[in-house]
């Protein structure tokens, strides 16, 4: 399957992506995780991305798009993949469309996690004490939410119009959400 998972910062995309990947036997590809790995390794990509990430802004499309194009061309993604945190802009949607079209492939669906915005600020502040992510401060979390609202939330309508969008309630226990997500994906296969 070729899927994307969307939702605001802290919605649980990464948490659920791990379970989806296991259940459906596809790699979970998180642009945020790839950027963070590059930041840790001190690569030029990491140096470039860090300036934006620490401020809660999006990394430029040109950088992000070529990174994803390379990643989904790898062997483990040949049979399918789950994209976590991509696409997030109109230009990224167009780029993903063209990557898939070039390979003669189609997206099976988009899973959107719906959450309460105050609850997810609390989730991220809690995560800050565990993972120490530079962008998990209250100010940057609020900026990430704004950027999501401006640039990414409108894309939900784009996928809804295409008819392969499933919205899943992302509140409640992690395993309850996982069961809802699995059921939604099974529905897409239908
Ligand atoms: P990214 O790493 O994708 O961050 P994000 O979108 O802000 O989302 P998070 O990873 O913070 O949250 P999540 O939805 O994955 O939730 P999680 O499962 O961790 O991107 C970071 C930055 O990279 C961006 O700001 C941007 O700069 C750059 N970037 C990335 N992609 C880009 C792109 N395409 N274009 C341009 N720039 C890009 O859960 C959050 C916490 O809640 C965890 O502690 C978790 O344990 C907990 N939790 C999860 N589920 C539950 C639950 N049901 N109940 C209670 N707690 C829960
Ligand atoms: Mg994440």
Per-residue pLDDT tens over the stretch 95-116: 999 999 999 999 999 999 999 9
Fold classification of 2-189 is Rossmann fold (3.40.50)
Q: Which residues approach ligand 1 with their CB closer than 6 A?
A: 7, 9-15, 30-32, 35, 52-53, 56-59, 64, 85-86, 88, 92, 123, 127, 135, 144, 172, 174, 177
Catalytic residue among 69, 127, 143, 160: 127
Q: How confident is the model at residue 3 (pLDDT cuts 50, 70, 90)?
A: very high
pTM of the complete model: 0.98
Instruction: Give the residue from 37, 16, 9, 10 showing the smallest Cα distance to 166.
Output: 16
127: annotated active-site residue = yes
- The pLDDT > 70 percentage for the chain reads 99
Q: How far apart are CA 169 and CA 184, in angstroms?
A: 11
Query: Is 50 labelled a binding residue?
Result: no
Residue 16 CA: nearest ligand 1 atom is 18
Instruction: Give the residue from 56, 55, 59, 76 showing the smallest Cα distance to 67.
Output: 59
Q: Which residues contact 72 (CB under 8 A, 6 or more apart)?
A: 29, 81, 83, 99
pLDDT of residue 108: 97
Q: What is the mean pLDDT of residues 47-71?
A: 98
133: annotated active-site residue = yes
142: annotated active-site residue = no
Sheet order of strands, 109-114 included: 28-30, 81-84, 2-6, 109-114, 165-169
pLDDT at 25 over 80: yes
Distance (Å) from CA 11 to ligand 1 centroid: 7
Enumerate residues with CB within 5 Å of ligand 2 (an ion). 13-14
Q: What is the mean pLDDT of residues 163-188?
A: 97
Q: What is the mean pLDDT of residues 61-89?
A: 97
Distance (Å) from CA 104 to ligand 1 centroid: 30
Query: Is 122 labelled a binding residue?
Result: no
Per-residue pLDDT tens over the stretch 111-170: 999 999 999 999 999 999 999 999 999 999 999 999 999 999 999 999 999 999 999 999
Tell me the CA end-to-end span of the chain in Å, nearest whole number: 12
pLDDT of residue 189: 83
Residue 17 CA: nearest ligand 1 atom is 18
Domain extents in the chain? 2-189
pLDDT of residue 174: 98
Query: Is 14 labelled a binding residue?
Result: yes
């Amino acid at each position: 399957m070729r899927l994307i998972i969307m939702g605001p910062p802290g919605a649980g995309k990464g948490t659920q992506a791990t379970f989806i990947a296991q259940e459906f036997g596809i790699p979970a590809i998180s642009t945020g995780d790839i950027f963070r790995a590059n930041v840790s390794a001190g690569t030029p990509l990491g140096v470039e991305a860090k300036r934006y990430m620490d401020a809660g802004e999006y990394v430029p499309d040109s950088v992000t798009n070529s990174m994803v194009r390379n990643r989904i061309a790898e062997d483990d993604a040949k049979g399918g993949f789950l994209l976590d945190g991509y696409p997030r802009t109109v230009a990224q949607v167009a780029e993903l469309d063209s990557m898939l079209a070039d390979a003669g492939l189609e997206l099976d669906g988009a899973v959107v996690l719906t959450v309460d915005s105050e609850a997810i600020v609390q989730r991220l502040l809690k995560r800050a004490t565990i993972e120490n992510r530079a962008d998990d401060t209250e100010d940057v979390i609020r900026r990430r939410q704004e950027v999501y609202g401006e640039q990414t939330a409108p894309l939900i309508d784009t996928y809804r119009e295409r008819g392969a969008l499933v919205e899943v309630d992302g509140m409640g226990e992690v395993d309850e959400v996982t069961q809802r997500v699995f059921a939604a994906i099974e529905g897409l296969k239908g």
